[in-house]
Structure 1
């Protein structure tokens, strides 16, 4: 791996001063020189030079919250049931056709799984039923999981396989849906009710996991992401990642978030103590307090704008009792861990902030960086409280594009929907935040996500929340240096500075120059740890001179 100098283009370092030097020099895995071209050349005599030819060099993107390699699980192992603008399923007939095709390829008795289904985008506006999935196949357990990952529908064979019968009681934080006669409809809501069917490792073995890992890696690198995240890593998935890590550099860096329920036992286990490899690291511990807006299980302080079909508007529900959450936060906080917690609704955020405040009262910890994940309807007072408590947030602005119109007309209404993913309020309150796609809920597309955060335009063309718009520079930082900071890696990556990893991306234009068209910019090259790992096809870019 030879030394390389990048020059003759726009260089956005995203350092503390947002400096724009004339050249960057790398040697091996690290950035070694940043500044004037003659100074960089003096530091690296004889280095190869990459002519940016007016293009833009930035630090590689960092995924602050996602479920790597879920996107490849969907494309390689499951029936993809996504609807436009992501997929092609417009009706239940399309859903059943895809499931039937998958069943025809699957030996009898083996599972058929569909993923990424969003009933709000189907012509019928509803989930399939147990009987309809029985019509797809009675020879296979059939399980369809919602795009949110928080609910699904099973056929009779799948229910029986999981030991779910008409007399099975609803677990805490979940429910088995029934018709008016008390018969199971196949619908299952909540992680506690879905059990293993709700886990991302469901039906995955070492071979299929590695195949999915490699495919997801190539997808992420093609979009400029050099550090990915799996933010709900149960023990079986930890074991699969450890197997990959033990085989050497996997070609992408990862942060894993072990689920809180396996602590404190996991921390004292041989797997944790002897974790293999440096490229796949263990990060914060993960908690879950509520559900999904699309399911109307995100927990709100005020009711949803309209009711679900046949129901009056309610406030959603908590997935965890208050005392349980307080105990879990205190346990992890006292163990010294950073905590990332899924809080979609503002009532969920209130409870989590209360738990953090209580933990800090008995055990003060400076710079803990406990994090609210999603925070989609956080209020101004909550963000001010985050600033006081040292809490950071990772927002989900992709919802503006994909489901903003539903938020406006049905879920939150015209007023509250203006402030989903309130990045403007967070910036005003002085809260350092990140932005994410939550792949595979929405695909890993950093430039589209940044565009949506800056412009806040829905798929239907409506602008949601002028007050919440932020600059292209702020959004770019939220997906690079701030994302590194949020998982305590700001000294290692996230900006272009000497000593940091040479994780770099060449764009065909600068997001700062076309903030209203960031979604038209494309990644032309991705460099990871000093090596070029992606180059756009059929175009010569960044030629060595």
Structure 2
């Protein structure tokens, strides 16, 4: 027995020794070449070759400087991108994967044109054009199991359309129009009957529903979304999620942050759906998921209970889909709906915005997550909301001072110069949607904001001058999921009619390029992993047909995305 034990022990020791001395199979080293590599690294801003190994950047330079490494590692040289421009993998720091997954199930009919994996959808910019296009789309609807739905309605272009209008136009056909903001739904009698939504449901909501108009908005949507189970029927929803991933690939995005996990009231299911879609995606992306305060308020959870739930969700993290240490607050309403909170003189037509969450609740949730080491993000559009954001950040720094907090104002539709100086002084960051200026500034320069504030929407030049970290986001589908389009809107400041307005607020091309790469990574707390091309970072690259730093401005948003490299693996579009 002792002899057998000795033999076994000796054999085990031998195996352990062999494991120690036999080298592991080395990962393949691949060197990608390009006409130009924009690294976003000040010490080596340009290169023509990058070596990758095991999903990471091994070295950057040119073939001559990398020759010893190529020889010692037996590296394979991949020249498929030799005639193109390589950049860090583009980043969209504020999207909503579930929104495209839901909305691309339906046709788009908006003021602006949309080009989606599901087809091209021309915009309608007049009431007559909208009604005509809507009638045509409804006539093509042939699925009796779901109501007709279209996304993109906006009254400033399309005129007021309410329940009675839809009743008159479509009779017993269930028809719903989803506002361009996503924060509003309008339906006819047939639609509400189809869903089982009643007057009692609307009357039970203090703010957010108008039964006479067939209108549910902001928090009032909680009476509607639970009745729209068809949106999440597995086959429909996963096809929509595939559409979202296709949008990422086609625009060169390798990392995106969901700034509203739980928006439909079932965060765990959302997380599982995103994980399943990403796991089955042949290209590969990174998705950072951010819990949102309204999910917990609707479910009547305290801040402490919310934190405990988020910690539990984080146990589901994998290499590509993570619930990070980020938490999102909601301050005011949607800019597309005119429900943002504007400071004096307010909206010139006299209408009012809405506050999404009261100050005591904001402070309670913010402090709980702040003290737990989370980065706070806050949806804030109007300058009155910006003031509330500043007050909240000052409050947190008074009661619980913290360095490098990176508290981020999300959207940034309108602010004042004085507020921008305060944001800089407080160390805040801004994740902005520059598309607001493109699509909204002209219309809002009338009875809403006037001829001075309208053109000044999204004042990025002011932030850049003050060295406030800025990321550019799409809030997809509030803007096209296209960082190059966002870069163009920030640099050109051209509105939907082609007029260049608010030119004092243009970003430099360098600043805008950083805002979709390294500065976007900074805002997500991922600057050590992504956002630039240097040794040790993830080998995530975007391959472009032209150089975004030198291409003519009018061509910037139209640069062809050839493909991406994700974790060292190349994929062509």
Compute the TM-score of the two structures, normalised by the length of structure 1.
Answer: 0.87
Once residues 228 and 348 of structure 2 are traced to their aligned partners in structure 1, the CA distance between those partners, rounded to angstroms, is 31
Q: Which residue of 2 aligns with 1:265?
A: 305
On the 8 A contact 1:417/1:464 being kept in 2, the answer is: no
Residue by residue, what CA displacement relative to the aligned partner does 1:380-431 show, whole Å, maximum 9, x if unpaired? Answer: 2212212222211111111222223213334322211232111111112221
Aligned-pair distance for 1:238? 3.4
- 1:3 pairs with 26, 29, 43, which one? 29
The 1:198/1:358 distance shift into structure 2, 3 A limit, reads farther
Q: How many residues align?
A: 517
Q: Which residue of 1 aligns with 2:113?
A: 85
Q: Are residues 1:190 and 2:218 paired?
A: yes
2:84 aligns with one of 55, 79, 92? 55
Q: Tell me what 1:227 maps to.
A: 255
| Structure 1: runs of 5+ lacking an equivalent | 179-183, 308-312, 536-545
* Structure-2 residue corresponding to 1:99: 138
| Kept after mapping to 1: 8 A contact 2:37/2:46 | yes
- Match of residue 356 from structure 2: 319
Write out aligned runs for 1:69-468 (5 A): 69-75=98-104, 77-86=105-114, 87-88=121-122, 89=124, 90-102=129-141, 104-107=142-145, 110-122=146-158, 125-130=159-164, 132-133=166-167, 136=170, 138=172, 140=174, 142-159=175-192, 161=195, 163-165=197-199, 168-169=202-203, 171-172=205-206, 174-177=207-210, 184-197=212-225, 203-234=231-262, 235-245=265-275, 248=279, 250=281, 251-260=284-293, 261-262=295-296, 263-269=303-309, 271-283=312-324, 284-303=326-345, 306-307=348-349, 313-468=350-505
Q: Relative to structure 1, is the Cα distance of residues 58 and 326 closer, same or farther in structure 2, using a 3 angstrom cutoff? A: same
User: Which secondary structure does the structure 2 equivalent of 1:37 belong to?
Assistant: coil
Residues 36, 216 of structure 1: alpha-carbon distance in 2 compared, 3 angstrom cutoff: same
| CA pair 389-119 structure 1, distance change in 2 beyond 3 A | same
CA deviation digits over 1:201-235, x for unaligned, max 9? 87213333322222221221111001122211115
Q: Distance in 2 between matches of 1:236 and 1:134?
A: 36
Q: How far apart are 1:264 and its partner, in Å?
A: 3.4
Aligned-partner Cα distance in 1 for 2:314–2:441: 44
| Distance in 1 of aligned mates of 2:217 and 2:351 | 16
Q: Segments of 4+ in structure 1 off by > 6 A?
A: 198-202
Quote the residue 1:181 is aligned against.
none
Checking the alignment, whether the CA contact within 8 Å between 1:31 and 1:496 is kept in structure 2 is yes
Change (3 A) 1:49 1:100: same
Partner of 1:541: none
User: Structure 1 residues 301 and 26, CA, compared in 2 at 3 Å: closer, same or farther?
Assistant: same
> How far apart are the structure 2 equivalents of 1:368 and 1:81?
40
Per the alignment, in what secondary structure is the counterpart of residue 386 of structure 1?
A: helix
Q: Aligned pair in 2 of structure 1 residues 190, 18: CA closer, same or farther (>3 Å)?
A: farther
Greater C-alpha radius of gyration: 2
Change (3 A) 1:198 1:419: farther
* Shift of residue 496, structure 1, vs aligned partner: 0.4
Match of 1:531 in 2: 569
Deviation, structure 1 residue 28: 3.0
Which residue in 1 is equivalent to 2:523? 486
Q: Is the 8 A contact 1:293 1:344 kept in 2?
A: yes
Report Cα offsets for 1:174-197 as digits up to 9, x if no partner: 33236xxxxx11022322455453
> Unaligned 5+ residue runs, structure 2?
1-26, 115-120, 297-302
Q: Displacement of 1:507 after TM fit?
A: 1.2
The structure with the largest helix share of the pair is 2
Aligned partner of 2:560 among 522, 530, 533: 522
CA distance in 1, matches of 2:241, 2:558: 28
Q: 1:343 to 1:170 in 2, by over 3 A?
A: farther
Distance verdict in 2 for CA 1:240–1:28, change over 3 Å: same
Give the conservation status (yes or no) of the 8 Å contact 1:196–1:202: no
Rounded Cα–Cα distance in structure 2 between residues aligned with 1:355 and 1:144: 36
CA distance in 2: counterparts of 1:167 and 1:204, whole angstroms? 22
Greater shift after overlay, 266-275 or 500-509? 266-275
Q: Would you say the 8 A contact 1:25–1:34 is kept in 2?
A: yes
